[in-house]
Structure 1
Amino acid sequence: MRPLPTLLTLSLAAAFGAFAATGLHEWLDNRAEAAPLAPAPVASLVPATAALPASVGGQPLPSLAPMLQQVMPAVVSVNTKQVVRVRNPFFNDPFFRRLFPDIPQERINESLGSGVIIDAAKGYVLTNHHVIENADDVQVTLADGRTVKAEFLGSDADTDIALIRIPADKLTAIQLADSAQLRVGDFVVAIGNPFGFTQTVTSGIVSAVGRSGIRGLGYQNFIQTDASINPGNSGGALVDLQGRLVGINTASFNPQGSMAGNIGLGLAIPSNMARSVVDQLLKNNGVVIRGTLGLETQNLSAQMAQGLGLESARGALVARVLPGSAAAAAGLQPGDVVVGANGERVDSAEALHNYEGLQPVGSAVTLDVHRDGKSLQLRAVLKEQARAAGGAALDPRLDGATFTDLPESLRQSGISGVLISEVKRGSRAAQNGLASGDVIVAASAGDFSDLAGWRANFTRPPQRLVLRIVRGGAQYDVLVR
């Protein structure tokens, strides 16, 4: 099928549909308002173009129906339930509870998303992490009406990918395409359950590939499309005209909020990224283990670029290379400017961090570097990124606290630092006023932007340890004793 005739025919069909609907609506309005006239022959009331021909030039009109008939059974509804305890100070009073025993102390939050069956034999369903996050119960409704309880296999919040399994037979799976072959202008079709309307299909084109730099989302390499993506589409399929999965619909961009509806800026996770995450989830017991270069970078100012002899303020300036890291082994030095990674442009520190976070442990990355006015290439093999650090191993004053990297959605919002994921009751960290959920953005131990830098600062613990903490939107300093 040739793309140009297809597009032309579809455009004509869309234009005709709008014309026919408008004409009929105006005819009904005119009939209500005009003075009575003699009945007109029925034929004169029907436009001459009321029906499209079955073929044009001997060729049948194009239709997505045959492809969708094969693909739609692979797209499912994902229904989640979460039991949430109602916070009411009166419930702490036994007298109040005795007077009003029937007032519920819990409520159930329900949400609806979409999913895609990627392995019919094993019952694997791909969806978004945010669709099933914190769910106590996940039910999957198939295209044929069957509803089954799903088993959680793993998820990755930073790429918004989750994998669940359903115990059902006679399933239809969808084939994953090579999303690296997508081009701007390729036709795509989105399938999902927007606003609870099950098995809904919208179409459009690929508006951009490799989209990143969107605040509030995780690691980013999105497919952008003008196919309508609305709340409920999350986790659904973005397919090409051959019915192959090229992406997982995850978000739509709208400055007025997601409930304002679609404005033609939809985002989907490329199938290649989804495939890589699924492989890791299955290999690593439901978690993703990322590789890291082990360096800290910052953006260049125009003055910095001029001082370094660069034509533009593009790239990631290396501020620190951590001892024993992949970057150290590759020969990177403070003052280097990284402008490319495996042939891809690196325009900023955020872009290098985003690229690094999408690579698995053991990946070889060839870095394009400017150093002392010269260009060179350095090869680094990414090492495993630590997932957490215990406070006792860093400094006795932090005993009882567990530190982790920030969720990538926070980092993309412009926050750097580490998260206190847990504080044991009665521990030294608790006595020092630290609490679970605190974000440490600065410390007297030294500069840092992530967990690796935080850990490196305690090779020689400072005599006086002061932490700058963000909690509940407020920022303050804590002296740790």
Structure 2
Amino acid sequence: MPQNMPQTTTTPDQPMTGKVPEAANANAPVGTGASQGQGRQTGPDSFADVVAAVSPAVVNITTTAVVSRPVQQGPAFPEGSPFSDLFRDFGIPGPGRRGDSPFGGPMQQERSTALGSGFVISSDGFIVTNNHVIDGADEIEIEFYSGARLPAKLVGTDPTTDIAVLKVQADKPLPFLKFGDSDAARVGDWVLALGNPLGQGLSASSGIISAKSRALTGTYDDFIQTDAAINRGNSGGPLFNMQGEVVGVNTAILSPNGGSIGIGFSMASNVVSKVVDQLREFGETRRGWLGVKIQDVTPDIANSLGLAAEKGAMVTDVPAGPAADAGVQAGDVITRFAGGEVADTRDLVRRVADAPVGEAVDVTVQRAGKPVDLKITLGRRELADADERGEGEERGDPQSQQGDAVLGMTLSRLTPDLAARLRLPENSKGLVVEDVDAKSDAAAKGLQPGDVIVEAGQKPVATLGDLRGRVAEAKEAGRQSVLLLIRRGGEPRFLALSID
């Protein structure tokens, strides 16, 4: 959960980096010393040189906003008294109580102040922070290491990655930082976090990279996990490698009490730098859009398709958009995008987002056991139609005519009347799941009554005979599972069911 958290001798037009202490052994990597005993790598003797070099470009951010508070009503009791606790338990405002009143009533406007961190990325005053640090603010003030304060204007935000870019007007060039390569950072590398925790002013904390490529809640998440202490007020501050380069932006912590327990998350610099470039140029993000719904290729799916490895992104649906125009089909497995192999859905999503809008890219899909090369002109993600999510389907009527059992499911043919009740087009074809054997693979894979099977073995099914035929074909091919395309709540999804 996200938690809110220049005196230098460097040349103003050059980014600031830390001068790492010289290694004790010529064979030791930069930023570490070598022990005299067994030649083991040890940590730096001190982080002081790095802190001194980069601190002038790290800033404190204060925001103010007008918020509405409920007007205190009713009797007032001293805080801590039994009556105060009683009123609190029942949601009635007492002295100093804030928050939305559960009973409505008059509201009053107040000015609220919040604190966060950030860092300068150019000599002309561009500053990076978290979107949640400045969200809703009507005034933003930047405090520099030297104590100077300047008002800032919002350049642009990207709530998806929780990044914001600000701009200040300074009388002289400002010391600034440069982004490092977060992909080159390794688990176990030393890192340094600087920021303004709990409003205490510039503070440094050190630790290691605990993990990489963490996904929290966002589509484009690529977090570095660190045990360097990160607290409220650190949000938006930089995470440095030992060369003084920014490899992450401190964004969130995992904590039961709101304080650091050694599990902090920083958005990787290779994601942030691309977002920042777009915000500086356009004031908004412009991500590529392929126009497909996808899912990971599981071992069962790979087996059912005869794929050599569980790689790529499987297309579950192709609504109107760039992919549909280029001939992409549901059931295709996207294996290559813009000249590179696709590892999984996360990999494809990030690469599409980074690709230029309006430019054609080469895409390779695996279809019916053969590679198919396509050229797709990407659209823009932010302008994609909101109805891409589709309309919800209702579950099947439990009173519908019961059919036969196949693969542990009781199935019925999709009639026009049933299609209408499920809010499907009149000409829809498929098989409706009416019941699922709790001991079957279908139940283990999550199939439910009301699901509609529209394909099996990547071929349409309209009757039980069609489904049995697809199962027989899979067995003849020596496969252990058959691939089904189902629709639930308007969303398509592929599942591979065991046919042993």
TM-score range, shorter chain: 0.5 to 0.7
Report if the CA contact (8 A) 1:293-1:327 is conserved: yes
Match of 1:161 in 2: 163
1:250 to 1:5, Cα distance in 2 relative to 1, 3 A: closer
Match of 1:207 among 206, 210, 213: 210
1:84 paired residue among 67, 73, 77 = 67
Equivalent residues of 2:141, 2:149 under 8 A apart: yes
Amino acid corresponding to residue 152 of structure 1 in structure 2: L
Letter of the 1:173 counterpart: F
Q: How far apart, in 1, do the equivalents of 2:253 and 2:129 lie? A: 16
Aligned partners of 1:197 and 1:332: how far apart in 2? 55
Distance, in Å, in 2 between the alignment partners of 1:443 and 1:299 is 28
**Secondary structure in structure 1 of the residue aligned to 2:294:** strand
Distance 1:287 1:203 in 2: 33
* Aligned equivalent of 2:367, options 366, 371, 380: 371
Deviation at 1:378, TM superposition (A): 4.3
- 1:243 matched to 2:239: no
CA RMSD for the aligned pairs? 3.7
Q: Distance in 1 between matches of 2:30 and 2:280?
A: 44
1:209-358 alignment runs, 5 A limit: 209=212, 211-214=213-216, 216-254=217-255, 256=256, 259-263=258-262, 265-284=263-282, 286-299=283-296, 304-310=301-307, 315-323=312-320, 325-328=321-324, 330-339=326-335, 341=337, 343=340, 345-348=342-345, 352-358=348-354
Residue in structure 2 matched with residue 105 of structure 1 by the alignment: 108
Change (3 A) 1:167 1:310: same
The amino acid that maps onto 2:233 is G
Q: TM-score, normalised by structure 1?
A: 0.60
Following the alignment from structure 1 to structure 2, what is the Cα–Cα distance between the partners of residues 66 and 83? 41
* Cα distance, 1:351–1:240 mapped onto 2, change above 3 Å: closer
Q: Distance in 2 between matches of 1:383 and 1:62?
A: 51
Preserved CA contact (<8 Å) 1:338 1:367: yes
**Is 1:73 matched up with 2:76?**
no
Q: Is the 8 A contact 2:59 2:145 kept in 1?
A: yes
- Cα shift at 1:143: 0.9
C-alpha distance in 2 between matches for 1:443 and 1:387 = 27
Q: Is contact 1:387–1:404 with CA below 8 Å preserved after alignment?
A: no
Given that 1:291 and 1:363 are in contact with CA atoms closer than 8 Å, whether structure 2 keeps it comes out as: no
Encode CA deviations 1:415-447: one digit per residue, 9 max, x unaligned.
Answer: x669xxxxxxxxxxxxxxxxxxxxxxx976899
Question: Contact 2:274 / 2:354 at 8 angstroms: preserved in 1?
Answer: no
1:113-124 equivalence runs, <5 A: 113-120=116-123, 122-124=124-126
CA contact (8 A) 2:70 2:107 kept: no
Query: Which segment drifts farther, 351-360 or 123-132?
Result: 351-360
Distance in 1 between the 2:128 and 2:379 partners?
A: 28
Distance (whole Å) between structure 2 residues aligned to residue 180 and residue 66 of structure 1: 24
Tell whether the 8 Å contact from 2:71 to 2:107 is kept in structure 1 after alignment: no
User: Structure 1, residues 348-375: CA drift from partner, whole Å, max 9, x if none?
Assistant: 4x55335433444146655453222234
Alpha-carbon distance change, 108 to 443 in structure 1, aligned in 2, over 3 angstroms: farther
- The residue type equivalent to 2:348 in the other structure is L
Identity score, percent: 37
Residue of structure 2 aligned with 1:128, choices 122, 127, 130: 130
Q: Against the structure 1 CA distance between its residues 189 and 303, is the aligned structure 2 distance closer, same or farther, given a 3 Å change threshold?
A: closer
Is contact 2:31-2:242 (8 Å) kept?
Answer: no
Q: Contact 2:207/2:226 (CA < 8 Å) preserved in 1?
A: yes
State how far apart, in whole Å, the 2-side matches of 1:249 and 1:344 are.
Answer: 30
Give the 5 Å matches for 1:140-219: 140-170=142-172, 171-209=174-212, 211-214=213-216, 216-219=217-220
1:156 is aligned with what amino acid?
D
- Considering fraction of residues, name the structure with more helix: 1
Which digits, 9 at most, give the CA deviation of each residue in 1:100-149, with x for residues without a partner? xxx971123322110100112x2111111111111121111111112221
Give ranges in structure 2 of 5+ residues lacking alignment.
Answer: 1-21, 38-43, 74-105, 392-421, 429-488, 491-500
Please list the CA deviations of residues 207-244 of structure 1 after superposition, one character each: whole Å capped at 9, or x if unmatched: 333x1432x33521223333222221111111222212
Cα deviation per residue 1:159-217 (whole Å; 9 max; x = unaligned)? 111111112234211122233433333332111112222211122233333x1432x33
Aligned residue in 2 for 1:451: none
Aligned partner of 1:343: which letter?
G
TM-score normalised according to structure 2 size: 0.58
CA distance in 2, matches of 1:380, 1:237: 37
State the alpha-carbon separation in 2 of the partners of residues 229 and 278 from structure 1. Answer: 22
**Hey, what's the Cα distance between the residues in 2 that align with 1:445 and 1:168?**
61
Q: Which runs of 5+ in 1 are unaligned?
A: 13-60, 91-102, 390-402, 406-415, 419-441, 448-467, 470-481
2:305–2:369 CA contact under 8 A, matched in 1: yes
In structure 2, the CA distance between the partners of 1:299 and 1:232, relative to structure 1 (3 Å rule), is same
**d(CA) in 2 for partners of 1:296, 1:244:** 37
The CA distance in 2 between the partners of 1:404 and 1:376, in whole Å, is: 29
Structure 2: distance between partners of 1:223 and 1:359: 23
> Equivalent residue for 2:418?
none
Matched position secondary structure for 1:238: strand
CA contact under 8 A between 1:76 and 1:142: conserved in structure 2? yes
Are 1:338 and 1:346, in contact at CA under 8 Å, matched by a contact in 2?
no
Partner amino acid, structure 1, of 2:196 = N
Equivalent AA in structure 2 for residue 157 of structure 1:
P
C-alpha distance in 2 between matches for 1:404 and 1:84 = 33
Q: Secondary structure at the match of 2:365?
A: strand
Residue 382 of structure 1 deviates from its aligned partner by 1.9
Q: Name the CA shift for 1:88/1:128 in 2 (closer, same or farther; >3 Å).
A: same
Task: Find the residue that maps to 1:235 and give its secondary structure.
Answer: coil
Q: Deviations over 1:315-348 (max 9, x none)?
A: 432123344x332455422211124545354334
Cα separation, 2, equivalents of 1:223 and 1:363: 31
> Deviation of residue 300 (structure 1)?
5.1
Q: Which AA in structure 1 matches 2:383?
A: R
State the alpha-carbon separation in 2 of the partners of residues 305 and 207 from structure 1.
32
Residue identity matched to 1:82: A
Question: Residue 71 of structure 1: CA displacement?
Answer: 0.6
